[in-house]
Amino acid sequence: DAKTTQPNSMESNEEEPVHLPCNHSTISGTDYIHWYRQLPSQGPEYVIHGLTSNVNNRMASLAIAEDRKSSTLILHRATLRDAAVYYCIHLSHASGGSYIPTFGRGTSLIVHP
Amino acid sequence: NAGVTQTPKFRILKIGQSMTLQCTQDMNHNYMYWYRQDPGMGLKLIYYSVGAGITDKGEVPNGYNVSRSTTEDFPLRLELAAPSQTSVYFCASRRQPRGSKNEKLFFGSGTQLSVL
């Protein structure tokens, strides 16, 4: 089954860049890498996703390794509102051709003022 | 655009009681999911549905049932509540065109359930 590995927690200071790593050595060639974050007492929300190339949006950047076995979510300037649990996921293939998003424990990001 | 709506937000049940957690989405998504999240843990999949009339078990289905009679609604039923079912429950949906794996998930705000 598809599996991702992330550090349990990371810390950063406000307005500094944050690099959140994820290993996904079992990813297949056509699986996208998705990142979600979960703010306290809320449901997860989409951050960014990509396949092979680095991706940027208004929330973050995603750097994908050339062999696609790892990726890094980059928050360019952390704010206190970025304190959350960040999940790196990809879709596990299930019976009948369906795909299931599988979540690990994620990385808890602590941002210090 | 309401997205994914879950009700109720909070509920306390006694052991052995039953209840239904409601989930509805207005984005015409074919895929819907129910997850549970225990304190300090990630999300575990309970059941999922790939379209109206089709449901399948996830990682932790025991003690739960689901139905999908319409595209919009995906209720989760607890028949005999047990303390082990104390958790936060999240419903999610996504659009999955045939062969595509890059569509993002949309989550509801969750239902916090305590079984005492």
pLDDT in tens, B32-48: 999 999 988 889 999 99
The predicted pLDDT at position A39 comes to 94
The predicted pLDDT at position B100 comes to 66
| Residue contact B35–A49, C-beta within 8 A | no
pLDDT over threshold 90, residue B65: yes
Chain A residues touching residue B105 (CB < 8 angstroms):
34, 36, 44, 46, 101
pLDDT over threshold 80, residue B1: no
SS3 content of chain B, % helix, strand, coil (to 5): 5, 50, 50
The tokens for A6 are 């992330």
| Residue contact A43–B41, C-beta within 8 A | no
pLDDT over threshold 70, residue B99: no
Per-residue pLDDT averaged across B71-76, rounded?
Answer: 97
CA distance B42 to B44: 7
In Å, the largest CA–CA distance within chain B is: 44
Nearest residue, CB atoms, A99 vs list B40, B96, B104: B96
Residue A81, classed as helix, strand or coil, is helix
Identify the CA nearest to A81 among candidates A64, A102, A61, A60: A60
pLDDT over threshold 80, residue A2: no
Nearest residue, CB atoms, A104 vs list B31, B42, B110: B42
| Residue contact A43–B108, C-beta within 8 A | yes
Nearest-by-CA chain A residue for B33:
A100
What is the Cα gyration radius of chain B? 14
Higher pLDDT, A32 or A113: A113
CA distance A53 to A61: 11
Mean pLDDT of chain A: 89
Cβ atoms of A106 and A7 within 8 Å: the answer is no
